[in-house]
Structure 1
């Protein structure tokens, strides 16, 4: 049984990665219904939280049906991160997660996200202060290192454990790699082989099929997996992986009608969360992914991403069901 603090997550939990502009409550809802064991919010700026910025505060929205849920924060100032951690903990998540992995320039140039991998001592000090500031388990999401020649992930995991984190998720790329090249999970094997390490280690990067999930589970000895891009437009990936682990067989791919039903459900959550106008606007980024690979779909996609009313989108989805009634994925 994998545990984070007193939180029991099963034998081999599948985690939904925190993804900016993706992992909001509506997306998390459909992932939860399709097998995600633990989910995280989008990363939230510590500076935004302590200044009560509306966009940052709204990202604290979590719901009982999502539990267990973690709130993730990022920043580069220890005092701000300590204060933001307390604000986030007041929203009553099960876990507080620290983002030490985001590779984008606007974050790393300020020494936040993966930028802190250039200053491991500060990373450890900041983590220690955050652990002291809250009464819930603290976890970390990070990368192997800043660059190939600065990888110290075995040491980093142990030092973070020693100041109190209760699990670590490792994206098996360096910051310099961004999202390119192949994730190198062999470093996760090294982390797990450290006899001093006893916290759960979750692997992240390139898990895009049940077959690869099973291969990596057996090969790299991790305690669970965090899935990001493979879940976008395809929340079924969690249950498909679990089914493959159990039976060695692939679940049948979701039918067109299943995809439409989940798209509608996702849209409903989005409208309930942010109102019709904003909910429809934020849903637009998802249509291409839900219907990826369908022939001659561009006219429907174009109309969906310009539709301004809930009824119009529902009508279009029903038309897709009719026009592609005989299509099989």
Structure 2
């Protein structure tokens, strides 16, 4: 699959998630088989560009190409300027967020709230496409409510504006992350446009990825919450799509190494104080489906220093050898995470 001049190695992508898909996590997902990963959402408000939080979100130093930055806002000129700013900082693809349902985003008329104003959507897309010389993509939802689905019109507006890829989450803004994603709208959008379409929403297993691709005709799948604590799901899905067979669970020793690699990169990225605190959610996701994981998570959350955290994680995964050479985890299940998804994604 190709976005502009960039040939992607496969069609398994990692979704942009605020507070999750920072540079260390994106890089790890790419190393573990993701064909593409997009940064956390960067605000278009120019007053925020120089903040430490925004600078981290658009830091791509050493990251595997292509380097994609997602931007969010409601003003066409601000978004155009933000796109140019990020391209100057090394972004090779700009993704526009019209999919986030979180209240604090929608209350500013950003994210999926924009779907209520198709004329504004059109002006934003034209402004950003004309502002930069890199591919511009769009992530959006099926509409702002089940009674007001306008994904087909948005998709046609996007294609006419020069958008080079569409990612469609199979829920409306009003749905948030509740209920089940639907794929009929994604199939209809794919049939109506001539640009690549990526299916997103509730893709948690290799079998589900195969089903969604077959049902919708989409060109790729985008994995969100199922990658939290299980970044190797990307290679599992890619392998299944290519061969029809399953990879075995990863070795305990491999995951010990990956955890050490991830945490060291995380601490280097955030520093000691912030790093140890922001790492807690990642560690919690890694261990939540493993034997003794919940008890360990509660103990680990009381640790205050990176060295303590590293040692505790290493000992925990060493203890997993008693259950076998490979991880003994349950299949990915994000249904229970739905109620708290907004808070998790906005952390």
For the aligned pair, the TM-score class normalised by the smaller chain equals: over 0.9
Q: TM-score, normalised by structure 2?
A: 0.90
Cα distance in structure 2, aligned partners of 1:116 and 1:69 = 25
Alpha-carbon distance, 1:314 to partner? 2.2
How far 1:62 sits from its partner (Å)? 0.5
* RMSD (Å), alpha carbons: 1.6
1:66-77 residue pairs with structure 2 within 5 A? 66-77=64-75
Distance change in 2, residues 1:155/1:78 (3 Å): same
Aligned to 2:191: 193
Alpha carbons of structure 1 residues 314 and 23: separation in structure 2 relative to 1, 3 Å:
same
- Verify: 1:319 aligned to 2:318, yes or no: no
Aligned to 1:7: 6
- Alpha-carbon distance between aligned partners in 2 of 1:117 and 1:28, rounded to the nearest angstrom: 28
Q: Are residue 243 (structure 1) and residue 242 (structure 2) matched?
A: no
Q: Which runs of 5+ in 2 are unaligned?
A: 329-347
User: Structure 1 residues 318, 7: closer, same or farther in 2, change over 3 A?
Assistant: closer
1:225-250 per-residue CA deviation (whole Å, 9 max, x = no partner) reads 11111100000111001111122111
State which of 216, 224, 227 in structure 1 corresponds to 2:220: 224
Q: Give the SS at the match of 2:20.
A: coil
1:308 Cα deviation (Å)? 2.4
Instruction: Give the structure-1-normalised TM-score.
Output: 0.94
Distance across 2 between alignment mates of 1:155 and 1:315: 53
Count of residue correspondences: 325
Shift in Å, 1:277: 2.5
Q: Equivalences for 1:1-329 in 2 at 5 Å?
A: 2-10=1-9, 12-47=10-45, 52-194=50-192, 197-328=193-324, 329=328
Between 1:240-249 and 1:303-312, the stretch displaced more is 303-312
TM-aligned CA distance change 1:80 to 1:221, over 3 Å: same
The question of whether the paired residues in 2 share the 8 Å contact of 1:30 and 1:266 is answered with yes
Q: 8 Å contact 1:70–1:94 — kept in the other structure? A: yes
Deviations 1:286-310 (A, max 9, x none): 1121112233334422332222223
Cα distance in 1, alignment partners of residues 242 and 131 from structure 2: 40
| C-alpha distance in structure 2 between counterparts of 1:144 and 1:228, whole Å | 17
